[in-house]
Amino acid sequence: MGNTVIICGRDADKLATAARETGAQAIAGDVTRAEDQDRILSDIQAAHGRLDLLVNNAGIFLAYDFAADPDALQKIEREIAINATAPLTLTRRALPLLQMSAQPGVLFIGSGVAFVASPGTPVYSGTKALIHHCAQTLRHQLKPHGIAVFEALPPVVDTDMATVLKSDNFKKMKPADLVRDILDGVRRDRTEMLLGQSRQIKWMSRIAPAFLFRQFAKTEFH
Ligand SMILES: NC(=O)c1ccc[n+]([C@@H]2O[C@H](COP(=O)([O-])OP(=O)(O)OC[C@H]3O[C@@H](n4cnc5c(N)ncnc54)[C@H](OP(=O)(O)O)[C@@H]3O)[C@@H](O)[C@H]2O)c1
pLDDT tens for each residue of 130-154: 999 999 999 999 999 999 999 999 9
Q: Where are the beta strands (DSSP E) in the chain?
A: 6-9, 25-28, 53-56, 105-109, 148-153, 192-194
Give the mean pLDDT of 88-105: 98
Give the mean pLDDT of 192-210: 97
Atom 5 in ligand 1: which residue has the minimum CA distance?
156
Atom 31 in ligand 1: which residue has the minimum CA distance?
30
Residue type, 201: I
Average pLDDT, the chain: 96
Inside any domain, residue 54:
yes
> Helices 198-207 and 209-217 meet at what angle, rounded to 10?
130
In the predicted structure, residue 171 carries a pLDDT above the cut 90: no
Inside any domain, residue 71:
yes
Inside any domain, residue 121:
yes
Domains identified in the chain, total number: 1
Inside any domain, residue 6:
no
Inside any domain, residue 143:
yes
In the predicted structure, residue 167 carries a pLDDT above the cut 80: no
C-alpha 60 – ligand 1 centre gap (Å): 6
Ligand 1 pocket, residue 58 CB under 6 Å: yes
C-alpha 76 – ligand 1 centre gap (Å): 16
Atom 7 in ligand 1: which residue has the minimum CA distance?
111
- Predicted pLDDT at 170: 77
Inside any domain, residue 135:
yes
Q: What are phi and psi of 8, to 5 degrees?
A: -130, 160
Inside any domain, residue 5:
no
Q: Model's pTM, two decimal places? A: 0.97
What is the SS3 assignment for 162?
Answer: helix
Inside any domain, residue 181:
yes
Encode 197-218: b = buried (16+ Cβ within 10 Å), e = exposed.
bbeebbebbeeeeeebeeebee
* Element (DSSP H or E) covering residue 91: helix 86-98
Which range of residues forms the domain containing residue 154? 31-217
Query: Which residues 6+ apart lie within 8 Å of 61 measured at CB?
Result: 121, 124, 161, 164
Give the mean pLDDT of 206-216: 96
> Distance (Å, rounded) from C-alpha 88 to C-alpha 78?
15
Q: What are phi and psi of 187, to 5 degrees?
A: -60, -40
Residue 199: which CATH number? 3.40.50.720
Atom 48 in ligand 1: which residue has the minimum CA distance?
157
Shortest CA distance to 61 belongs to which of 83, 81, 32? 83
